[in-house]
Amino acid sequence: MKSCLIVDDSKTVRMVAKRILEELSFSTREACDGQEALQLCESEMPDAILLDWNMPVKNGIDFLRELRGKVGVNQPVVIFCTTENGLSHIHEAIAAGADEYIMKPFDSGIVESKFSQVGLI
């Protein structure tokens, strides 16, 4: 079973994501900000990360840069998911090391198609 870390400050969004991912047979863990996500990654690196942009303490983009800055670790697939839909945002996210980018609100179909694009499913 593949694992996915859901990083979002809204518990509602995490619940939605969790339901979708569990249907896709992922084991999930949750973090409510980038800081917590980093800690979870350190203890066990997931196969994929579903990452929100705007979060307190440490936002998604900072988390991503830090994660990608770490060398010698198994790099997970990172799917950025946020309502920030400007082209510049997408560029910034990809430049920081995101593998894919999905818009909020997402549903099961969107998540499934993106995950299969990056080869997780």
Partner 1 sequence: MDELLQEFLTETNEGLGYLDVELVKLEQNPNDPDILSNIFRLMHTIKGTCGFLGLPRLEAVAHAGENVLGKVRDGDVEVTPGLVSIVLECLDRIRLILGALEETEAEPVGDDSELIARLETVAEGWDAEQLTQPVASDALETGSDAPSEEAASVPTAEDSAADETVSEVDPEQADEDVPVELAEIEATEENIVEMVQPGEEVVAVVSNDGAGGGQPPAPEMEAGDQGQPRESSVANQSIRVNVELLENLMTMVSELVLNRNQLLQILRTHKDSDFAAPLQRLNHVVSELQEGVMKTRMQPIGNAWAKLPRIVRDLSQDMHKKIDLQMKGADTELDRQVLELIKDPLTHMVRNSADHGLETTEGRRAAGKPETGTIVLNAYHEGGHIIIQITDDGRGLNTDKIKEKALANGLTTEAELANMNEQQIMQFIFKPGFSTAQEVTSVSGRGVGMDVVRSNIEKIGGNVELTSKYGKGTSFTIKIPLTLAIVSALIVESASERFAIPQLAVIELVRASANSDHSIERINDTPVLRLRNRLLPLVNLSELLKLEREDDESEKDQFIVVAKVGTYSFGIIVDRVFDTEEIVVKPVAPILRDITLFSGNTILGDGSVVMILDPNGIAGETGELTVTEGMEGMAEQKAAKSDDTVAMLLFKAGSEAPKAVPLGLVARLEEIDRETIETSGGQPVVQYRGQLMPLITMDSHQALEGTGRQQVLVFTDRNRSMGLVVDSILDIVEEPLNIELGGEHQGYIGSATIAGKATDIIDTGYFLTQAYSDWFQADGKLEGDSASNRILLVDDSPFFRNLLAPLLSSAGYNVTSVEGADAALELCEAGEDFDVILSDIEMPGMSGFEFAAAVRANRWSETPLVALSGHASPNDFARGRAAGFSDYVTKFDRAGLLASLNETLSNMRGAA
Q: Which is nearer to partner 1, 26 or 106 (CB)?
A: 106
C-beta of residue 108 within 8 angstroms of C-beta of residue 23: yes
Cis peptide before 46 (omega within 30 of 0): no
Q: Which is nearer to partner 1, 68 or 104 (CB)?
A: 104
Position among 12, 25, 74, 88 found at the interface with partner 1 (CB under 8 A): 12
Position among 27, 39, 54, 75 found at the interface with partner 1 (CB under 8 A): 54
Kindly state the number of chain residues that form the binding site for partner 1, as judged by CB under 8 A: 14
Measured CA to CA, the distance from residue 39 to residue 37 in angstroms comes to 5
Considering only 5-13, 60-68, 71-79, 109-117, which stretch makes contact with partner 1 by CB under 8 A? 5-13
**CA dist 74 → 15, 42, 52, 69 (Å):** 26, 11, 21, 12
* Binding of partner 1 by 104 (CB under 8 A): yes
Amino acid at 117: Q
Strand partners, 30: 6
* Binding of partner 1 by 11 (CB under 8 A): yes
Task: Provide the binding-site residues for partner 1, judged by CB under 8 A.
Answer: 9-13, 15-16, 54-56, 82-83, 104-105
